[in-house]
């Protein structure tokens, strides 16, 4: 146990025959359960896990590959059945340093947060050695995830080193969370809808020699689609269905006015291109809706940022 809480490490594993043993043997003693999900690996990942003979290990093998998110969901459910109070995700490739596990667990078990996640980019030096296109990609993806999830206080959304209370997990519709690489992004959206307090924890990255098998041409469009749909799902539940708040009014009217103003502006440009002189009234017909719409959208954004669930809500376990 850790700070009076039963801890389960959930470990999604795919083709991790070489590293899964290291993950198990380096797991701290205060971790009560290690739930490993072999996501239908073509190698002997399951055999390597069994070879360690750690009594804390619960091994599950998928008969069909479900993706990293699907493996995490299976592990979360198994850990909850084992009676865990807090689940922490540890990658099967041993790239999540267990020495920093207390930093995550303290925020959940002592500080009262429902969800804590690692942030690799907690200082300017964190980007050193990273190619410029990856720095740019991480910044853009983090901003888009902030908009979609509503967690404006979080960064590095693809970081899967997380800790979450099982009482929070029990409220999340796990069968609706994306089962692939966008699992972390989609989970944040679901947690925000539930108004779960979340916090970033500075943890340096630990990279091995593995080469990523992610196909960006497939993952990026799926992720953009998920964030777009997730944003409107969050708006619907938080700002329309459960409480018709000013955010919804400002957002909808702001979008409508901006679209009208943009449409009129395009029409005016075509008129000018056809040698038709635009009158002051015509210009104002385009400018006024655009200005009002932009102001409403900015106000909606400000209210959404202020409403980000970033405060602890639970009592400590001990």
Domain boundaries, the chain: 7-239, 244-306
Residue 125: strand, helix, or coil: helix
Give the closest residue to 7 by CA, choosing from 29, 36, 38: 29
Chunked mean pLDDT (size 10), the chain, 318 residues: 96 95 96 97 95 95 94 97 97 92 96 95 74 80 94 92 96 94 94 96 72 61 92 95 90 95 88 76 86 96 94 89
Q: Going along 188-253, which residue ranges are E strands?
A: 198-202
Q: Using CA atoms, how far apart are residues 179 and 62, in angstroms rounded to an integer?
A: 13
Q: Using CA atoms, how far apart are residues 198 and 214, in angstroms rounded to an integer?
A: 27
Asked if 87 contacts 164 with a C-beta cutoff of 8 angstroms, the reply is yes
What is the sign of the dihedral through the CA atoms of 312, 6, 167 and 9?
positive
Q: Using CA atoms, how far apart are residues 32 and 73, in angstroms rounded to an integer?
A: 19
| CATH top class, domain 7-239 | alpha beta
Chain CA centroid to CA 166, Å: 17
Give the closest residue to 196 by CA, choosing from 149, 142, 146: 149
For the chain, report the end-to-end CA distance as a whole number of angstroms: 11
Asked if 191 contacts 198 with a C-beta cutoff of 8 angstroms, the reply is yes
Asked if 155 contacts 184 with a C-beta cutoff of 8 angstroms, the reply is no
What is the sign of the dihedral through the CA atoms of 93, 148, 195 and 69?
negative
Residue 7: strand, helix, or coil: strand
- Sequence-separated (6 or more) residues with CB below 8 Å from residue 262: 286, 290
- Sequence-separated (6 or more) residues with CB below 8 Å from residue 213: none
Give the closest residue to 26 by CA, choosing from 11, 40, 41: 11
What is the sign of the dihedral through the CA atoms of 108, 113, 114 and 119?
negative
pLDDT for res 244: 82
């Amino acid at each position: 146990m850790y700070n009076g809480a039963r801890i389960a490490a959930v470990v999604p594993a795919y083709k991790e025959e070489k590293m899964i043993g290291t993950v198990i043997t380096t797991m701290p003693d205060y971790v009560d359960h290690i739930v490993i999900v072999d996501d239908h690996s073509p190698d002997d990942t399951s055999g390597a896990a069994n070879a360690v003979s750690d009594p804390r290990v619960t091994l599950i093998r998928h008969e069909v590959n479900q993706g990293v998110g699907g493996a995490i969901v299976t592990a979360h459910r198994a850990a909850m059945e084992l009676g865990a109070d807090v689940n922490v995700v540890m990658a099967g490739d041993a790239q999540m340093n267990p020495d920093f596990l207390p930093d995550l667990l303290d925020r959940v078990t002592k500080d009262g947060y429902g969800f804590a996640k690692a942030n690799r980019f907690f200082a300017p030096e964190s980007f050193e050695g990273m190619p410029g296109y990856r720095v740019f990609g991480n910044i853009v993806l983090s901003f888009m995830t902030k908009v979609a999830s509503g967690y404006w206080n979080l960064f590095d959304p693809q970081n899967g080193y997380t800790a979450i209370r099982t009482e929070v997990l029990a409220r999340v519709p796990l069968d609706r969370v994306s089962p692939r690489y966008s699992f972390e992004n989609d989970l944040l959206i679901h947690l925000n809808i539930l108004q779960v307090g979340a916090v970033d924890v500075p943890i340096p990255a630990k990279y091995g020699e593995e080469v990523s098998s992610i196909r960006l041409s497939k993952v990026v469009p799926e992720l953009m689609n998920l964030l777009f749909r997730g944003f409107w799902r969050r708006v619907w539940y938080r700002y329309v269905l459960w409480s018709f708040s000013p955010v919804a009014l400002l957002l909808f009217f702001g979008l409508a006015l901006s679209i009208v103003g943009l449409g009129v502006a395009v029409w005016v440009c075509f008129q000018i291109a056809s040698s038709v002189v635009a009158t002051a009234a015509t210009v104002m017909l385009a400018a006024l809706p655009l200005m009002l719409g932009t102001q409403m959208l900015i106000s909606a954004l400000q209210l959404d940022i202020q409403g980000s669930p970033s405060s602890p809500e639970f009592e400590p376990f001990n």
